Amino acid sequence: MRWTPGGVSSDIEDRRDDSGGDGGGFGFGHLGIGGVIIVGLLSLLFHRNLFVFFSGAPSTPVEHRAPNRQLDAREQPEVEFVSFVLDDVQKNWTRILPQQGNAPYRHAKLVLFRNAYPSACGMAQDAIGPFYCPEDEKVYLDLSFFNELKNRFGAPGEFAQAYVIAHEIGHHVQKILGIEPKVRQLQQRRPEEANPLSVRLELQADCFAGVWANSTEQRKIIDASDVASALGAAAAVGDDRLQKMASGHVSPETFTHGTSAQRTGWFRRGFESGSISACNTFQQRR
């Protein structure tokens, strides 16, 4: 992926030297390392902070720590990469959302944190993975997730990381278009359809990430190997693969994000079309 370092985006909120506490502070130390890993994988799978069920307190105050300047310096290239991708994704949606969605785009913020940080949707945890919070319209990201993506989930490459950011901004687009709140209302009215609706919401965000990827190909920012990297990342976080990793079993009735094949299929659909209209996962099947 060709990109130019250019400092830190104005849409980045750097909270890496703030914290909502460490692992012991959340009251789940009794789970053990294995338990924490399992809960972390399930949190990533279900896109919910399942650690809250092991916490004795509903919230944790933010603590301000002395800056870790050595670690900050090591992470600076990643911060600049995240900034480039975030700005590029949002610039693209600023251009195409009024054209294709008849709606103005408003920027989301991306919060960088380490270990844990409070969001309007609950405590962000490094074990949960990146997520978008519609309540405050922010994406939460611990940079250590990129190492997890590469080493644990087998999805290396810069464009794999870019896919993750573009997917989360895809959820922001869903909120702007009114899709996300409608789905949440349907889930409340029809609890039995909550999981299938969640799958469709997530697959659409994958497709929206593909719409952005289409624009990067047109501008010669990426090549075929980058597309393969993004497809690998989408496959790596499929429900079937994550469930297999977490428990050794696959339970389709509990899927919330879609299978690896579905996720790669919808990303490819957005990538090949560059069109919002191609991403209607609520009417089409893949």
Question: Where along the chain do its domains lie?
Answer: 12-279
CA distance 40 to 52: 11
Q: Give pLDDT, residue 209.
A: 96
Q: Is the pLDDT confidence value at 249 over 60?
A: yes
In this structure, are residues 233 and 160 in contact, taking their beta carbons and an 8 Å threshold? yes
pLDDT tens per residue across span 53-112 = 444 334 445 555 667 777 888 889 999 999 999 999 999 999 999 999 999 999 999 999
Q: Is the dihedral of CA 212, 217, 220, 221 positive or negative?
A: positive
Question: Average pLDDT, stretch 11-37?
Answer: 55
Residue 179 or residue 30, greater confidence: 179
In this structure, are residues 204 and 265 in contact, taking their beta carbons and an 8 Å threshold? no
In this structure, are residues 130 and 165 in contact, taking their beta carbons and an 8 Å threshold? yes
CA distance 150 to 17: 24
Amino acid type, 135: E
pLDDT tens per residue across span 177-187 = 999 999 999 99
Enter the pTM of the model: 0.82
The model's confidence at residue 2, banded by pLDDT at 50, 70 and 90, is confident
- Residue 3, Cβ density class (10 Å: 0-12 exposed, 13-18 middle, ≥19 buried): middle
Q: Give pLDDT, residue 242.
A: 83
pLDDT tens per residue across span 122-145 = 888 877 789 999 999 999 999 999
Q: Give pLDDT, residue 7.
A: 84
Closest CA to 275 of 284, 240, 222: 284
Closest CA to 163 of 116, 98, 211: 211
Q: Given the structure tokens 């603590």, which residue do they identify?
A: 63
CA atoms within 13 A on the CB side of 110: 28
Residue 146 or residue 203, greater confidence: 203
Low-confidence winner among 35-44, 192-201, 248-257 (lowest mean pLDDT)? 35-44
Residue 192 neighbours by CB distance under 10 Å: 7
Q: What are the tokens at 236? A: 């790596």
